[in-house]
Amino acid sequence: MVTEDPRLLPTPEAHDLLELTRELADKELAPRADEGEHRGEFPRELIRTLGRAGLLGLPYPAVHGGGDQPYQVYLRVLELLASRWLAVAEAVSVHTLACYPLAAHGTDAQRERLLPAMLGGELLGAYCLTEPAGGSDPAAMTTRADRDGESYLVSGTKAWITHAGVADFYNVFCRTGGGGANGISCLLVDAGTPGIAPQARERTMGLRASPVAQIAFDGVPVPVDRRLGAEGQGFSIAMQALDAGRLGIAACAVGLAQAALDYALRYARERQQFGRPIVEFQGVGFLLADAATQIAAARALTLSAARLRDLGLPYTAEAAKAKLFATDMAMQVTTDAVQVLGGYGYVADHPVERWMREAKVLQIVEGTNQIQRLVIARGLAHG
């Protein structure tokens, strides 16, 4: 069970929010996760239910329909969702990330027009930064947006796009100027615009309920008033969004690992060998003790970075540390959970093998863990 010491929550309303999240997670997510992952179907209606409950715009202002919650509370919600069904938590994280460019860099007119439906969860978002030729070096992107009167015409291909084909809007980062990071802008594009072609879904190792695909843009007309921020500001917007997104992935990793520990612990208390429960053997008990310790550390690191963000302080390096540590931890803990269950852990009758497959992607998305080290090292060298 996810630690819920009320002293760690800043307000009574945060406590109420987590109660609501727990009810939704237990009744709506947990019973559907296995089947949903097996069938590989995106649970769009379930995401709408979360939207109606107010969970899809938590860290944004109430005036635009958000939940006005500090990031540390939003992350606790995400952690709880991830402990029941990672694909759904990831959908919430990606959607929340996709609302960031508009919420933080849109004009008042843009926000008033577009943000309420996004934060209310009627519209699902996606984030189109990465391209087939390079994920870790987005400044080298080649997708272009050429000015044509009061519109841009967007052409190029984006890759590894979560919610490809199911999203209602895409944040598309594309080149409006010359080479390098300064030539990139951010456009908010309706998914139904002609010329957008989501490709066949990737056949992923895990998170199969979450659609991931390339999206081809072929002369897609986007009104100039759908540009978020100034021309050339796109790269900086993308990096800011990723800082926050990384904390989301870290929280997902903590939730996933907690689920794996809880499951392995329950099994180890019941499974008898040599006449006693295997949790009483030090080899198993220490494995679980290490997992519990690592989870607590990852949670603390993640929330500590979130509190910096909530105070308006720089947190780029702290977010990178949290993402790196929490996702490596989740890989280890889910692998150990399989080990605790032994042969039973390796078969699909128990969810731990799925969780182990799901953990792997967390070390890769929102910047590989190698990139996180680069961010941390850069901060150390120049900080």
Name the 3-class secondary structure at 356: helix
Specify whether the backbone of 366 is left (phi greater than 0), alpha (psi in -120 to 50) or beta. left
Q: Which strand (E) or helix (H) includes residue 307?
A: helix 282-310
Measured from the CB atom, the residue of 22 and 323 that comes closer to another protein is: 22
d(CA 83, CA 95): 18
Structure tokens at 207: 């998170």
CB 323 within 8 A of CB 376: no
Q: How far is the CB of 119 from another protein (least distance, A)?
A: 11
Q: How far is the CB of 17 from another protein (least distance, A)?
A: 5
Instruction: Say whether residue 280 binds another protein (CB under 8 A).
Output: no
d(CA 102, CA 118): 10
Instruction: Say whether residue 277 binds another protein (CB under 8 A).
Output: no
Interface with another protein in residues 56-85 (CB under 8 A): 58, 67
Binds another protein (CB under 8 A): choice among 38, 39, 44, 52: 52
Phi and psi torsions of 242, nearest 5° = -65, -35
Binds another protein (CB under 8 A): choice among 16, 26, 112, 218: 16
Measured from the CB atom, the residue of 20 and 139 that comes closer to another protein is: 20
Q: Which residue stretch of 15-23, 142-150, 189-197, 243-251 sits at the interface with another protein (rule: CB under 8 A)?
A: 15-23
Instruction: Say whether residue 308 binds another protein (CB under 8 A).
Output: no
Binds another protein (CB under 8 A): choice among 53, 139, 153, 181: 53
Instruction: Say whether residue 119 binds another protein (CB under 8 A).
Output: no
Binds another protein (CB under 8 A): choice among 10, 40, 54, 229: 54
Q: Which residue stretch of 20-28, 165-173, 252-260, 357-365 sits at the interface with another protein (rule: CB under 8 A)?
A: 20-28
Structure tokens at 256: 């996933």
What residues pair up with 184 in beta bridges, in sequence order? 175
Contacts of 45 (CB under 8 A, 6+ apart): none
Contacts of 374 (CB under 8 A, 6+ apart): none
Instruction: Say whether residue 24 binds another protein (CB under 8 A).
Output: yes
Which parts of this chain interact with another protein (CB under 8 A)? 13, 16-17, 20, 23-24, 49, 52-55, 58, 67
